[in-house]
């Protein structure tokens, strides 16, 4: 069945990635139903397409509501989750509750309503500190320390993957899993390194008489991530929805490792300031390098187009202009 002929249910559709996906699916002519309770999302993100979608304000932990949402859809793309490092540490039980109950309800709803396709959003956090970088999809998954609440997030995603694969073999015609790697862009929330740095620089820049600003970070600043701009990410996800193989697991991201120091420096450039990194204590459970091998998705035709510098400038400008709005929504 062509994508444009499918009806999709997007859980977590008012979130950063979810809303971008909803808008792209609508643009491609797909029928879209969204469920979200807006705890971590914001309906405002869907203003441009709200009259073209079906929206159900509900919680994925509500089994009856999820089953109703699964009625008469062809594919469920399950994005609903609790993200943001602050939540991992302070409310790990909520992270796990949404992970396990949400996934259970989605699978049960799909089975009872005869939905034939399940697509799961996983995470690069399933690797924690990967045994090799760049990391391909066959590298082993890990929960290094069950006593560290940070791993509630990655552990929940591993549980979700196991459920998707093992129920998928029996109950779905196609099951897909994608692992996003450091997706960023305008309106991504604020509990992430890029928006936090922008908001801090916006506050510090006017107060500094010197051109160079001392900028404290967690760790040394030499830690690296491969950041993927939201437009490139959605291109990859759409390609996966079109061509992905049953029980396939795919990374979506870029292969350019960017140091946290460079992130700060580029944001400094936006505010016309130089940055002097002040090293701080490393985050407990953090990892020094993270970068995906995206060979598998490239074989389907994926090619990121937006450079980090270009994407960061767009993102920094949005947060600079919308800082009050961001704080209110989040």
User: Mind listing the pLDDT tens digit of every residue in the chain (330 residues)?
Assistant: 788 889 999 999 999 999 999 999 999 999 999 999 987 778 999 999 999 999 999 999 999 999 999 999 999 999 999 987 778 889 999 999 999 999 999 999 999 999 999 999 999 999 999 999 999 999 999 999 999 999 999 999 999 999 999 999 999 999 999 999 999 999 998 888 999 999 999 998 887 777 788 899 999 999 999 999 999 999 999 999 999 999 999 999 999 999 999 999 999 999 999 999 999 988 777 789 999 999 999 999 999 999 999 999 999 999 999 988 764 433
Residue 328: the pLDDT is 42
Residue 84: the pLDDT is 78
Neighbours of 330 (CB within 10 A): 14
Residues of each domain in the chain carrying CATH 3.40.50.720: 3-183+227-252
Residue 284: the pLDDT is 73
Residues of each domain in the chain carrying CATH 3.90.25.10: 186-225+257-287+307-329
Residue 16: the pLDDT is 96
Residue 209: the pLDDT is 74
Residue 134: the pLDDT is 97
CATH 3.40.50.720 fits 3-183+227-252, yes or no: yes
Residue 3: the pLDDT is 86
Residue 326: the pLDDT is 60
Q: Which residues pair with 278 in a beta bridge?
A: 216
CATH 3.40.50.10610 fits 186-225+257-287+307-329, yes or no: no
pTM of structure? 0.95
């Amino acid at each position: 069945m062509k994508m444009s002929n499918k009806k999709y249910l997007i859980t977590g559709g008012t979130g950063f990635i979810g809303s971008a996906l909803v808008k792209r699916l609508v643009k491609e002519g797909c029928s879209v139903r969204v469920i979200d309770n807006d705890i971590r999302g914001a309906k405002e993100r869907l203003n441009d397409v709200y009259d073209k979608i079906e929206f159900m304000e509900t919680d994925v932990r509500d089994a009856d509501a999820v089953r109703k949402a699964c009625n008469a859809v062809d594919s469920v793309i399950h994005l609903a989750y609790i993200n943001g490092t602050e939540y991992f540490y302070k409310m790990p039980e909520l992270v796990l509750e949404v992970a396990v109950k949400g996934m259970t309800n989605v699978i049960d709803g799909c089975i009872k309503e005869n939905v034939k396709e399940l697509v799961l959003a996983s995470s690069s956090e399933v690797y924690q500190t990967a045994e090799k970088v760049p990391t391909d999809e066959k590298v082993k998954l890990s929960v290094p320390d069950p006593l560290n609440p940070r791993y509630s997030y990655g552990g929940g995603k591993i549980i979700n993957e196991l459920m998707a694969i093992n129920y998928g073999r029996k109950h779905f015609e196609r099951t897909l899993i994608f692992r996003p790697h450091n997706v960023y862009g305008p309106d991504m929330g604020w509990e992430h390194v890029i928006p936090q740095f922008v908001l801090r620089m916006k506050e510090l820049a006017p107060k500094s008489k010197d051109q160079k600003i001392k900028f404290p970070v967690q760790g040394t600043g030499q830690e690296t991530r491969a950041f993927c701009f939201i437009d490139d990410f959605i291109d990859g996800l759409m390609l996966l929805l079109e061509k992905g193989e049953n029980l396939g697991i795919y990374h979506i991201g870029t292969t350019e490792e960017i140091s946290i120091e460079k992130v700060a420096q580029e944001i400094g450039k936006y505010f016309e300031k130089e940055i002097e990194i002040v090293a701080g204590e490393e985050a407990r459970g953090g990892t020094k390098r993270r970068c995906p091998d995206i060979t598998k998705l490239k074989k389907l035709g994926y090619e990121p187009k937006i450079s980090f510098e270009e994407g960061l400038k767009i993102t920094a400008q949005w947060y600079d202009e919308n800082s009050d709005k961001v704080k209110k929504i989040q």
